[in-house]
Amino acid sequence: MKSAIYPGSFDPLTYGHINIINRGRKIFDRVVVAVAGNMSKNTTFTIDERADIIRELFRGVKGVEVVSFRGLLVNYMSRRGIRTILRGLRTFSDFEYEFQMAMGNKKLAQEVETLFMITEGEYSYISSSIIKEIVALGGSARGMVPPLVEKQLRGKLRVERAAVRRGR
């Protein structure tokens, strides 16, 4: 069985991410969506919340497995016997960052290959940080994230705003 791992913070999952997952399913028998516990990012959702949302959205979809992990991606891949990383690219600046990550992963594990997939045009402007800002300011993220994601994000941001108002 040919598998690829699609790692990311997915905070929140967007239609751009979903597009990469679905297109990856056409190439690989299984796409493992690996929700990362990234120490360098301040996430809105916990790692478990992000994984649960993705599991709900892909419930019953053949060829998609959702996991969470902490630590080095290549170590997790080695334990799972996966050798291909699937990554989406929206812009040239994405490529610069992703190229560095791919070369770092290759240095750590020679057997690992990274496959870059260009995001389809209609999703190229979507980023998780823009979505969070839109929703935090009361705007609609329709067409950028699934309704479940927007609902969960609105609830989470409402709780965070209330805590800030209370001085926490």
Q: Per-residue confidence at 157, pLDDT binned at 50, 70, 90?
A: confident
pLDDT at 85: 98
Question: What's the domain range around 81?
Answer: 3-124
Instruction: Respond yes or no: is residue 151 known to be catalytic.
Output: no
Query: Whole-angstrom Cα distance, residue 35 to residue 32?
Result: 9
Instruction: Give a yes or no: residue 96 inside a domain.
Output: yes
CATH code assigned at 52: 3.40.50.620
| Closest by CA position to 123, among listed 22, 37, 46 | 22
Is pLDDT above 80 for 141? Answer: yes
90 is catalytic: yes
Would you say the pTM of this structure is higher than 0.85? yes
* Secondary structure class of 8 (helix, strand, coil): strand
Q: How far is CA 90 from the centre of its chain?
A: 13
Evaluate whether residue 92 is within a structural domain. Answer: yes
pLDDT tens digits, one per residue of 4-29:
999 999 999 999 999 999 999 999 99
Q: What is the pLDDT of residues 32-41, one digit of tens each?
A: 999 998 766 7
Q: For residue 156, give the H/E element and its range.
A: helix 147-165
Residues 65-82: tens digit of each pLDDT: 999 999 999 999 999 999
| Residue 158 belongs to some domain of the structure | no
- The catalytic residue among 23, 55, 90, 106 is 90
Out of 3, 17, 50, 156, the active site residue is 17
Q: How many separate domains does the chain show?
A: 1
Is residue 67 in some structural domain?
yes
